Structure 1
C-alpha cells in the first residue's frame, strides 16, 4: 500500500510515517511533500498507474506556501484523503473534497489506527474508483445549527433569531450578541463554543474577539500587506481586523 504524506513540518511528517509503520509495517510512504507547489508537480509526474501513485494521502491543511485546497484547483485528485491539522475550522471544506477523516494534531496512534480501519472498511465496501459512492457513505457530517438564542433581560426572557444577529464579540471575558438594530445583549456562551453552534456558511470568526455574520459586513478595506479591516453595521466602536493567517480563508468564505 502506497501512502503520500503532504506536511510542511519534517518532524511531524516523520512521526506520522513512524505511526503508519507501527500500524502496518507493509505500508510504503511514496513521498513526503511540504508545499502546494511540490505536491502539484509530484502528482503531475506520478499519475494513476505509476508504481508510486498513492492509495491514500495524509494531508496537512497549512502548507509552506498556501492552504492545501489550492492543490485541488490544479490537479484532478481522486485519492481518498485523511486530513491532519492543528485547526478544526476547515472541517466542512475538507469534506467537500476527497476526505474520509479529519485528525487534529498531535495525531495519536489510536486516532490514526481508527482512521486507517475506516479506510479499509470503506475500501472493502466500494471500489476506490467509485469515489462518489465512497464520499456518500462517509457523508458530510450532519450538524444541526442553532436557530435562536434565549436571552435574559432583567426579569424577562426573550428569544433572538440567529438571522437577527449582526455579530458576537468578547469583552473582559463576557460574550455579547449584537443585533442588526444595535441591541447589545450578554450571552453565556464563549466565542469558541458559538463557532461550533452556528452555520459556518453564515458566520466567520474574524479574530479572537469577533464572530461576524455575513450581512453585517458593510465594507472591507486593505489595511496593510497582510491584514484586512472590516467595517461592520452596526458600528462595533472598535476596529475589527482579519489577520494575515485568516485572509485566504476569509476570501474563500466570501466566495463560497
Structure 2
C-alpha cells in the first residue's frame, strides 16, 4: 500500500509515519508534505506514484486541506487528521474513510486502516472505490449515531439514553457524562471518540474538555473581544467558554 502524508507539523508527520509503520511495516510512505501548494504540485506530477490512501491534516501552513481536494478533484480515499472537530461533516462529504482527532490514538488509527482495507477488498463489487466509499458513508451515517451510552458510578452500571445527556466533560483526565436530571457518571470512551458517535446537529464540542447538547444551553453571554461564555443546565463546576477557534462554527451550529 502506498500512502501520502500531508501534514505541516514535522513532529506530527513523523509520529504518524511511526504509527502507520507500527500497524504494517510494509506500508510505503511516499512523501510527507507540509502545504497545500506543494501537495497540489506533488499530486499533479504524473511521474509520482499515485497513493492508495492519503492522510490529510486540515489546517496546513498555507490553507485548509480541503483546497487540495477542490483543486485536483481528488477521488483518492482520505483519512483526515486534525486537532479540530468542526469539519467532520464536510470531511465525510469529501471521499473520507475516517476522521482522526489529534493526538492520534494508535487503536483509532488501526480501526481507520482496517476500515480502508475492508473497503478496498470490496472493490470487485464496486469498481469505483470513491463512489463505494461515498455510498457506504451515506448509508452508514444515517444510523451510526449512538442512542445510548454505558456509564458507571462506583460498582453500578447505567445505560443512558443520548437524548437524556446534557454534556460530556473531561475531569481529572477521565471522561464523564452529565444527564439533565443531574446524574454524573464515568465513561470508558475518550472525548474524541464520544464526539464521533454523536449527531453533530444536536451536540457541539465547545472546547477540548466539553461537548454540550443543544438543549443544555440556558444563556449565551457575549464578552469583550468576541468571547462567548455559556450557562448550562445542569451547571458545571467551572465557567464554560467557547474556544476562540470554534466560535464561528458554534454560531453556525446554533443557526441550523
Structure-2-length-normalised TM-score: 0.60
Call closer, same or farther: CA 1:126–1:252 in 2, change over 3 Å: farther
5+ residue gaps, structure 2: 154-158
Tell me the distance in 2 between the aligned counterparts of 1:83 and 1:192.
Answer: 18
Alignment of 1:1-256 (within 5 A): 3-13=3-13, 16=17, 19=21, 22-23=25-26, 29=30, 31-36=31-36, 38-39=38-39, 41-42=40-41, 46=44, 50-52=46-48, 54-56=50-52, 57-64=54-61, 68-69=65-66, 71-72=68-69, 76-84=73-81, 94-101=91-98, 105=104, 111=110, 114=114, 117-118=117-118, 120-128=120-128, 131-137=130-136, 140=140, 142-146=143-147, 162-163=162-163, 165-167=165-167, 175=176, 177=178, 179=180, 183-189=181-187, 192=190, 195=194, 198-207=198-207, 210-217=210-217, 218-219=219-220, 221=222, 223-224=224-225, 228-232=227-231, 234=233, 236=235, 238-244=238-244, 246-247=246-247, 250=250, 253-254=253-254
> Conserved in 2, the CA contact under 8 Å of 1:2 and 1:28?
yes
Structure of higher CA gyration radius: 1
Secondary structure in 2 matching 1:136: helix
> Conserved in 1, the CA contact under 8 Å of 2:97 and 2:116?
no
Aligned residue pairs total: 237
Tell me the distance in 2 between the aligned counterparts of 1:6 and 1:14.
Answer: 11
> Conserved in 1, the CA contact under 8 Å of 2:228 and 2:247?
no
Call closer, same or farther: CA 1:195–1:253 in 2, change over 3 Å: farther
Tell me the distance in 1 between the aligned counterparts of 2:4 and 2:150.
Answer: 45
Tell me the distance in 1 between the aligned counterparts of 2:133 and 2:255.
Answer: 27
Residue of structure 2 equivalent to 1:156: none
5+ residue gaps, structure 1: 153-158
Q: Which has the higher helix share?
A: 2
Q: CA deviation at 1:127?
A: 2.9
Q: CA deviation at 1:168?
A: 5.1
Q: CA deviation at 1:77?
A: 2.4
Tell me the distance in 1 between the aligned counterparts of 2:2 and 2:120.
Answer: 13
